[in-house]
């Protein structure tokens, strides 16, 4: 069992928790993830490590409430326990040889992008960050990004905060002005990452994306997290849990990934509603 050391509501749909898991905290690096179960009957879900406090032995997770499991998790409070917290899993984000990096985060994907930006910042790299949200009410981690970035662009779709527009707007301006980066890293909704890749492609700058598809065991055995990469004219299958979650964005078949990612959307919404009704009934 793993104790919830701290819980904070970041916005109406996103929650932050610090989980006491000393062995995970001692080894986890930016880009890696954990798999948790809320209780013995619960499903396994992957959540990216959003930070660690090695001294306290805690791991930060930030999650969006979208299905039954995240709904159940959100009803837990500081001092409560969750059943399983396995990790760290996946390959850490590669930082070697990079001196100037452009980090692009969208929505709750900013929880994944922030520790990556901080890692580069701590290594002495020049970090330019672009974070995007639908509206002001959904903005998260702005202060953390500002502290970890040499420049920060905050975008909202409706213009209620920062600049109006999507994350590709400042990218186009920087690329158009001839700015160069050693790497672009995009983390967020699949459609956002697809457009960031296409905006970056003409520059030839390497562009990595963080893929978080359907996962079950997190060890590569179930095959649920398979992705198709288009490499040298061939279609190659990789598994996000062991080969990723970071991949070359120019190779990812985003259309297939989006199709697979939407397979259970209605089921998740229905199960979340059922779970909400159970909590309302006090069961």
Give the start-to-end residue ranges of the domains of the chain: 2-89, 93-210
Query: Would you identify the CATH topology of the domain 93-210?
Result: Rossmann fold (3.40.50)
Strand order in the sheet with 183-187: 163-164, 151-156, 126-133, 100-106, 183-187, 207-210, 246-248
- CATH 3.40.640.10 describes domain 2-89: no
pLDDT at position 155: 97
Identify which of 108, 158, 98, 90 has the alpha carbon closest to the alpha carbon of residue 128: 98
For residue 162, report the phi and psi dihedrals to the nearest 5 degrees: 60, -140
Residue 252: strand, helix, or coil: strand
Low-confidence ranges of the chain (pLDDT < 70): 213-220, 260-283
pLDDT at position 239: 86
CA 30 vs CA 46, 90, 164, 180, 199: distances in Å: 15, 10, 29, 24, 25
Compute, in degrees rounded to 10, the torsion defined by CA atoms 241, 242, 246, 247.
-110
Residue 266: strand, helix, or coil: helix
Instruction: Work out whether strand 81-82 and strand 58-64 pair parallel, antiparallel, or are unpaired.
Output: unpaired
Q: Is 186 exposed, middle or buried (0-12, 13-18, 19+ CB in 10 A)?
A: buried
CATH topology identical between 2-89 and 93-210: no
pLDDT at position 262: 59
Asked if residue 30 lies in contact with residue 144, where contact means CB atoms within 8 angstroms, the answer is no
pLDDT at position 67: 82
Asked if residue 42 lies in contact with residue 86, where contact means CB atoms within 8 angstroms, the answer is no
Residues 6+ apart with CB under 8 A from 282: none
CA 202 vs CA 128, 176, 218: distances in Å: 19, 11, 34
Query: Within a 13 Å sphere around the CA of 198, how many CA atoms are in the beta-carbon half?
Result: 10
Q: Is 100 exposed, middle or buried (0-12, 13-18, 19+ CB in 10 A)?
A: middle
Query: Within a 13 Å sphere around the CA of 249, how many CA atoms are in the beta-carbon half?
Result: 26
Asked if residue 227 lies in contact with residue 237, where contact means CB atoms within 8 angstroms, the answer is yes
Strand order in the sheet with 14-20: 81-82, 2-11, 14-20, 58-64, 45-53, 33-37, 84-89
Identify which of 59, 51, 197, 37 has the alpha carbon closest to the alpha carbon of residue 111: 51
In angstroms, rounded to a whole number, what is the distance separating the alpha carbons of residues 199 and 213?
23
In angstroms, rounded to a whole number, what is the distance separating the alpha carbons of residues 115 and 12?
22
pLDDT at position 255: 87
């Amino acid at each position: 069992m793993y104790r919830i050391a701290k819980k904070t509501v970041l916005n109406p749909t996103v929650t932050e928790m610090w989980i006491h898991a000393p062995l995970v905290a001692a080894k986890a690096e930016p880009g890696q993830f954990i798999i948790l179960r809320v209780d013995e009957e619960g499903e396994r879900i992957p959540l990216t490590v959003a930070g660690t406090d090695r001294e306290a032995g805690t791991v930060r997770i930030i999650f969006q409430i979208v299905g039954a499991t995240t709904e159940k998790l959100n009803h837990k409070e500081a001092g409560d326990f969750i059943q399983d917290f396995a990790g760290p899993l996946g390959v850490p984000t590669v930082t070697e040889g990079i001196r100037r990096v452009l980090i692009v985060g969208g929505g709750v994907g900013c929880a994944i992008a922030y520790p990556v930006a901080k890692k580069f910042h701590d290594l002495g790299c020049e970090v330019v960050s672009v974070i995007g949200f639908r509206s002001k009410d959904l903005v998260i981690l702005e202060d953390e990004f500002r502290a970890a970035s040499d420049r920060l662009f905050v975008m909202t779709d409706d213009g209620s905060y920062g600049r109006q527009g999507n994350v590709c707007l400042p990218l186009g301006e920087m690329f158009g002005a001839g700015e160069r980066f050693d790497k672009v890293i995009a983390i967020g909704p699949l459609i956002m990452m697809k457009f960031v890749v296409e905006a970056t492609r003409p520059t030839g700058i390497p562009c990595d994306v963080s893929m978080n598809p359907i996962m079950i065991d997190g060890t590569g055995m179930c095959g649920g997290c398979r992705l198709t990469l288009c490499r040298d004219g061939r279609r190659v299958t990789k598994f996000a849990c062991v080969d990723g979650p970071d991949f070359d964005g120019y190779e990812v078949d985003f259309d297939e990934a989006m199709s697979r990612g939407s397979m259970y959307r209605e089921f998740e919404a229905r199960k979340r509603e059922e779970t909400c009704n159970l909590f309302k009934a006090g069961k």
